[in-house]
């Protein structure tokens, strides 16, 4: 197995149905589902919002730092088995603080296992604090300030949740502030939103990677820019099919993106909801005849190169 880095992974999206039930029981949280089957039956999404509604309803079971630590460790277990040797994972603190969970507990729960992940799992890691874009700039800025004040270890900021109607340019000041703190900057753009959101993420937020970005193919000048600057795109094939961004794995544009010289990586996004982890995404692409051995090697190399791992770790993994 070639070493790979996973660069687009939402910790909240790794909660498996069994784990949701187990943590709910531990915390005495009543779930609005009769049983596991009832919950699983709801994993048929019509679009991004229909997924976000379920995913962020299910995080209601997370109450203590132990819950957040268990979620993080379960992901590291599965990622290590998938061949992931470096992981940069998203967390949305707003989704938890608004429910009354102290930010300190959220951050301690997640950063505990991440800070030990190289020793425990052979996976180097970093945390990216992501802002719920539908909650606006003021809330994002307050979240950034609160996380900075905690002095908890994180490597960067991201922008996720409902894309359309919430352009990157709304968050210019937040990303400026993050950059001034020496944080890395990434943003979801061009998943459901138009190519203009990718331009804004590049030119206004000055991000180092675009999460998803598949709609860049609708704008030749944008493709040219992304190729010229070798801006990494963290593509999530099973997510795109599940959220009806593309019709099928067979018609996924990843082969076209590689062919055009874009710096593509393969990731799982929300693996508990979209039918699999990063190895399952590779398997699906190969099953559809999309990848030759050289493509797999390119994607693996891209993922390490596009990561924010330190240079010595990158050399180890290349």
Provide the annotated binding site for substrate: 270
> Which one of residues 88, 191, 200, 279 is an interface residue with ligand ADE (CB under 6 A)?
191
Q: How far is the CB of 153 from ligand ADE (least distance, A)?
A: 22
Non-local (6+) Cβ contacts of 66 within 8 A are 109
93 binds ligand ADE (CB under 6 A): no
163 binds Zn ion (CB under 5 A): no
Window 267-296: residues binding ligand ADE (CB under 6 A): 269-270
Closest CA to 83 of 312, 283, 284: 283
Q: How far is the CB of 7 from Zn ion (least distance, A)?
A: 10
Q: How far is the CB of 237 from ligand ADE (least distance, A)?
A: 12
Q: What is the CA radius of gyration of the chain?
A: 18
Q: Which residues of 131-150 are buried (b: 16+ CB within 10 A; e: fewer)?
A: bbbebebebbbebbebbeeb
239 binds ligand ADE (CB under 6 A): yes
Q: Which is nearer to Zn ion, 66 or 280 (by Cβ)?
A: 280
Residues marked active site are found at 191
Residue that the structure tokens 């996976």 belong to: 123
**Structural contact between residues 6 and 87, judged by C-beta atoms closer than 8 angstroms:** yes
161 binds ligand ADE (CB under 6 A): yes
Q: Record the tokens describing residue 14, joined without a space.
A: 């790794």
192 binds Zn ion (CB under 5 A): no
Counting residues that bind ligand ADE (by CB under 6 A) gives 10
Non-local (6+) Cβ contacts of 29 within 8 A are 23, 60, 61, 63
Residues pairing with 127 in the sheet: 89
Q: Record the tokens describing residue 162, joined without a space.
A: 């409902």
Q: Which is nearer to ligand ADE, 15 or 231 (by Cβ)?
A: 15
CA distance 6 to 193: 23
CA distance 187 to 212: 9
Closest CA to 188 of 132, 143, 146, 237: 132
160 binds ligand ADE (CB under 6 A): yes
Q: Which is nearer to ligand ADE, 161 or 307 (by Cβ)?
A: 161
269 binds Zn ion (CB under 5 A): yes
Window 30-49: residues binding ligand ADE (CB under 6 A): 48
3-state secondary structure of 183: coil
Q: Look at residue 215 and give the partner it binds from ligand ADE, Zn ion, none, a contact being a CB closer than 5 to 8 Å depending on partner kind.
A: none
Q: Look at residue 48 and give the partner it binds from ligand ADE, Zn ion, none, a contact being a CB closer than 5 to 8 Å depending on partner kind.
A: ligand ADE
Residues found in the chain: 318
Q: Which is nearer to ligand ADE, 10 or 121 (by Cβ)?
A: 10
Query: Residue with the closest Cβ to ligand ADE?
Result: 160
Q: Judged by CB under 5 A, which stretch of 63-71, 196-204, 262-270, 286-294 contacts Zn ion?
A: 262-270
CB atoms within 10 A of CB 234: 25
Counting residues that bind Zn ion (by CB under 5 A) gives 1
Binding site for Zn ion (CB under 5 A): 269
Q: Could you list the residues that contact ligand ADE (CB under 6 A)? A: 10, 13, 48, 160-161, 188, 191, 239, 269-270
């Amino acid at each position: 197995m070639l070493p790979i880095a996973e660069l687009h992974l939402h910790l909240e999206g790794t909660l498996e149905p069994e784990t949701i039930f187990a943590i709910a029981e531990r915390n005495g949280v009543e779930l609005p589902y009769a049983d596991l089957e009832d919950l699983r039956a709801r994993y048929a999404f019509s679009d991004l919002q229909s997924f976000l509604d379920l995913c962020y309803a299910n995080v209601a079971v997370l109450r203590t730092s132990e819950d957040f630590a268990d979620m993080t460790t379960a992901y590291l277990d599965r990622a290590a088995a998938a061949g992931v040797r470096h992981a940069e994972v998203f967390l949305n603190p707003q989704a938890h603080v608004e429910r009354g969970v102290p930010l300190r507990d959220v951050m301690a729960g997640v950063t505990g296992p991440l800070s030990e992940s190289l020793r425990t799992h052979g996976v180097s890691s970093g945390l990216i604090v992501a802002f719920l874009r539908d909650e606006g700039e003021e809330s994002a800025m307050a979240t950034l300030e609160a996380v900075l004040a905690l002095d908890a270890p994180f490597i960067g900021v991201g922008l996720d949740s409902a894309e359309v109607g919430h352009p990157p340019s709304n968050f210019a000041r937040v990303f400026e502030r993050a950059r001034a703190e020496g944080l890395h900057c990434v943003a979801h753009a061009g998943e459901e939103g138009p190519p203009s959101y990718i331009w804004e993420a590049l030119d206004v937020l000055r991000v180092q990677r675009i999460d998803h970005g598949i709609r860049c193919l609708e704008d030749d000048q944008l493709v040219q820019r992304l190729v010229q600057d070798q801006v990494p795109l963290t593509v999530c094939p099973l997510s795109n099919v599940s959220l009806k961004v593309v019709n099928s794995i067979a018609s996924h544009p990843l082969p076209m993106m590689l062919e055009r010289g874009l710096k593509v990586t393969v990731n799982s996004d929300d693996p508990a909801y979209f039918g699999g982890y990063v190895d399952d995404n590779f398997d699906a692409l190969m099953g559809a005849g999309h990848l030759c051995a050289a493509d797999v090697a390119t994607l693996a190399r891209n993922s390490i190169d596009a990561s924010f791992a330190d240079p010595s770790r990158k050399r180890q993994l290349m």
